[in-house]
Amino acid sequence: MVDTTATGIVVALQANYLEVELHDPPEGIPGRLLCTRRTRLSHRGSSVNVGDEVCVEAIDVVQARAVVANVASRTSWLTRPPVANVSLVVVVLAVDQPSFEADQASRFLLTAERTGLDVQVVLSKRDLLPPDQLEQLCERLRGWGYEPIALSSETGEGVEALKQRVKGTALAVLCGPSGVGKSSVLNRLLPHLSLRVGAVSGRLQRGRHTTRHVELFAMGSDSRVADTPGFNRPDLPNDPRELGVLFPELRQQMDPWPCRFRDCLHRGEPGCGVSTAWERYSLYVSGLEELISLSRPGRGG
Ligand code: GDP
Ligand code: ZN
């Protein structure tokens, strides 16, 4: 046992133990420690989870064990899967198989935007589309306010661009519909990992979900990626007024506030300074209508 403390990040949970990777292991101390929590931590009701920045003490050098004494406050918290301090949400959308659907893609993008974190779009399976059509799709995504990274886990094309993007952020998590190739992308990013890749099955071309526990893997010195695909069930905010900011192409139009009305929902009302000439406008309006009908009193929303 050494009488020193160290800081690190929780990279995995194992039953009642936390696996902690030290940021800067002091001389003679292993870089990865199996830790318990100080009981007062649980008494305070503060849970410790993957992604948490922690301070460890009572380090047992021989057994590579320690005790988590303190948890830093979180910069972000995702619940599905539970991960603290995520800084980048990577939304993976296939160019084909399953075919690109603006509606479904947007659901995932809106859910990603709800986290308030940086969002990176990845267009996967680029090998399935001729270059001119791929460029059209990229251009379409730019119209939605995103600069997509198009890649193929088959050919490896574009994978390096995503690696660089992930290396530029502290903690990235992937999400997207089943079967778009998330596990394949993670296998490309973390070659030592070998996640099971689910075959796209049946007429619906939906893949199976094959991964469960969250674990963080280092990519370069200061960045990590969660090995588990993130939220798979997209959802929308309860308040219709919160929908607009989730569309980057609409958000860009709202600074400075262009409308005569403070509570404007930007549906072409006279005095509203927001254009209705954008591709996802109709999607925005139908989303609004859905939220308004759900939030009507007496509907249990
Ligand atoms: P996930 O459900 O999003 O994790 O998707 P998987 O990684 O399990 O992949 C689903 C299916 O798509 C598998 O049959 C993969 O072989 C296939 N796939 C994944 N990446 C690519 C790619 O870049 N190109 C092509 N053509 N197929 C891919
Ligand atoms: Zn308006």
d(CA 68, CA 79): 22
Contacts of 282 (CB under 8 A, 6+ apart): none
38: Cα separation from own chain's centroid: 30
User: In this predicted structure, which of 9-18, 168-177, 223-232 has the lowest mean pLDDT?
Assistant: 223-232
CA–centroid distance, 238 to ligand 2, in Å, is 19
Closest ligand to the CA of 261: 2
From the CA of 128, give the closest atom in ligand 1: 26
How high is the pLDDT of residue 156? 97
How high is the pLDDT of residue 203? 37
Residue whose pair of structure tokens reads 């661009």 in the numeric block: 161
The first and second tokens of residue 193, run together, are: 């990992």
Radius of gyration of the chain (CA): 22
From the CA of 208, give the closest atom in ligand 1: 2
| DSSP assignment letter at 278 | S
pLDDT tens by residue, 63-117: 999 999 999 999 998 887 889 999 999 999 999 999 999 999 999 999 999 989 9
3-state helix, strand, coil in the chain (%, to 5): 25, 25, 50
From the CA of 152, give the closest atom in ligand 1: 23
200 lines ligand 1 (CB under 6 A): yes
Cis peptide before 30 (omega within 30 of 0): no
Q: Which of 122, 184, 186, 228 has the most ligand 1 atoms within 8 A of CB, as the residue to mutate?
A: 184
**Most confident among 158-167, 197-206, 209-218, 226-235 (mean pLDDT):** 158-167
From the CA of 196, give the closest atom in ligand 1: 8
d(CA 161, CA 24): 28
Residue minimizing CA distance to atom 12 of ligand 1:
181
How high is the pLDDT of residue 228? 72
The Cα-based distances of 211 to 16, 86, 180, 216, 270 in angstroms read 20, 19, 14, 13, 50
pLDDT tens by residue, 44-63: 555 889 999 999 999 999 99
> Any idea how long the chain is?
301
Closest ligand to the CA of 274: 2
Beta-bridged to residue 122, according to DSSP, are 92, 149
- In 3D space, the residue among 97, 100, 76 whose CA is nearest the CA of residue 88 turns out to be 76
d(CA 81, CA 173): 9
Average pLDDT over residues 276-289: 94
Q: What is the rounded (10 degree) CA torsion for 270, 272, 273, 279?
A: -100
Residue minimizing CA distance to atom 10 of ligand 1:
179
Q: Are 29 and 1 in contact (CB under 8 A)?
A: no
pLDDT tens by residue, 207-254: 444 445 688 999 888 899 997 766 666 677 888 989 999 999 999 998
